[in-house]
Amino acid sequence: MADVARGDRGQLLIVSAIGLAILLTALALALNTAAYAGTHAAASDNGLHEQQAAIGYQASAERAVADLMAINDTTESDLRAAVEDWDQLTGAEYARDGAVTHVSVTDTTVENRIVQDDTRNFTDQSGADNWTVATNATAVEGFEMVLEATALSSSDDCTASGACFTLTVEDEDGDAWRLFASNTSENESVEITVETSNGTTETCTAEASSAPINVTNGVFVDESGAECSFTSFTEDDGVTAPYTIRYERATNVTGTYTLTVTGNVVEGSIEDDERYATTGSPRITPQIRAANVSISYQSPQLTYHGRIRVVPGDDDE
């Protein structure tokens, strides 16, 4: 009897041990799947939402920058100021949703058209007769002028320190290309002398009351319509971009000119720059062709940094 009882106890122990093991395994399995499914669902859901928010932010920024660039007479500094305010206004809204956003303009490509279409001397809007027409011009797309004979100096000292009207195109190393204009003849005539960076000079003369000059192509047209070629600063190997374009003794010349340069020419806004205005002569029309913009969007789940190039008119309609 006692033997049977002893055997029974063993069976009892085994059965309860197996039961306990099954119970524990089941519990572990159940808890594990629940926890895994929970976090997995939450993560993917949030991640998708955050990505959409970041993409939406970038699209809004791109749209705003493109619109601001397209506004007439916007210079680089105007654009920077406006984007800074936009950044602050939108930043406050996104902060409420727990995201830190930032957008800023890193650099721009500005094309400026500088025009004097009333026949007058070549001084700037403030009347200065030695002035810089454009600094840091990475490219000069076109430069044409028409010189009138009447106001030209009759001096034959056409050098950098002389008395003639001088157009100087200088590079960053100080190498300069110069164009002088004078009227030494008794009759009405326009004489130009071009001095390249290595010191060689070329002259062209027109016995006429006015003469057109294409400065970038190096072509001067005389009274009979014949062309006199000279070395343009674009062909002068000693002078390399970016250029600084200056007028000196601008009261010793009258006429008109049109010049298209790429670069950040205007200091601040046009109103702040006394050399130009948006109307009259000389006037400037800046047009921002492209801007590089850096964008960042940070939230607890997502960090996004991007650089985009905005070209107005790209995503219109």
Partner 1 sequence: MSDRAQAFTLEAFVAAVLLVSTLTFALQAVAVDANTASSAEAELRGQHGGVAEGLLDGAVESGSLQSTLLYWDESNERFLDADEEEGFYLSRSPNTTFGRSLARLFDDQRIRYNVDLHYQGADGERETRRLVEYGTPSQDAVRVTETVTLYDDSTLVTRNESRRANATLESVEPDFYAPDASDDTQLYNVIRVEVVLWRT
Q: Is 11 in the site for partner 1 (CB under 8 A)?
A: yes
Q: Within 97-156, which residues bind partner 1 (CB under 8 A)?
A: 97
Residue 95 burial (C-beta neighbours within 10 Å; 0-12, 13-18, 19+): exposed
Q: Find out whether 142 and 159 touch, Cβ atoms under 8 Å.
A: no
Q: How far is the CB of 2 from partner 1 (least distance, A)?
A: 11
- Looking at beta carbons only, is 34 or 199 nearer to partner 1? 34
**How far out from the chain centre does Cα 133 lie?**
19
Strand partners for 54:
none
What's the rounded Cα separation, in Å, for the pair 21 and 225? Answer: 109
- Looking at beta carbons only, is 90 or 216 nearer to partner 1? 90
Which of these segments, 1-9, 114-122, 170-178, 247-255, binds partner 1 (CB under 8 A)?
A: 1-9
Size of the site for partner 1 (CB under 8 A): 38
Which segments of the chain does DSSP mark as H helices, in order?
2-70, 76-96
- Residues 24-43 as x/- pattern, contact with partner 1 by CB under 8 A: --x--xx--x----------
Q: What is the DSSP letter of 296?
A: E
Q: How far is the CB of 15 from partner 1 (least distance, A)?
A: 5
Q: How far is the CB of 45 from partner 1 (least distance, A)?
A: 8
Q: How far is the CB of 239 from partner 1 (least distance, A)?
A: 37
- Looking at beta carbons only, is 30 or 160 nearer to partner 1? 30
Per-residue H/E/C for 41-79: HHHHHHHHHHHHHHHHHHHHHHHHHHHHHHCCCCCHHHH
Nearest to 215 by CA among 139, 132, 146, 283: 146
Nearest to 122 by CA among 272, 281, 278, 284: 281
Q: Which of 28, 42, 43, 71 binds partner 1 (CB under 8 A)?
A: 71
Q: Is 22 in the site for partner 1 (CB under 8 A)?
A: yes
- Residues 75-94 as x/- pattern, contact with partner 1 by CB under 8 A: ---x--xx--xx--xx-xx-
Q: Which of 28, 31, 38, 63 binds partner 1 (CB under 8 A)?
A: 63
Sorted by sequence, the CB contacts under 8 Å of residue 94 that are 6+ apart come out as: 57, 100, 101, 297
Q: Which of 50, 54, 57, 75 binds partner 1 (CB under 8 A)?
A: 57
Sorted by sequence, the CB contacts under 8 Å of residue 147 that are 6+ apart come out as: 181, 190, 192, 210, 211, 213, 253, 254, 255
Q: How far is the CB of 312 from partner 1 (least distance, A)?
A: 13
What's the rounded Cα separation, in Å, for the pair 108 and 65? Answer: 11
Q: Which residues bind partner 1 (CB under 8 A)?
A: 4-5, 8-9, 11-12, 15-16, 18-19, 22-23, 26, 29-30, 33, 52, 56-57, 59-60, 63-64, 67-68, 71, 74, 78, 81-82, 85-86, 89-90, 92-93, 97, 317
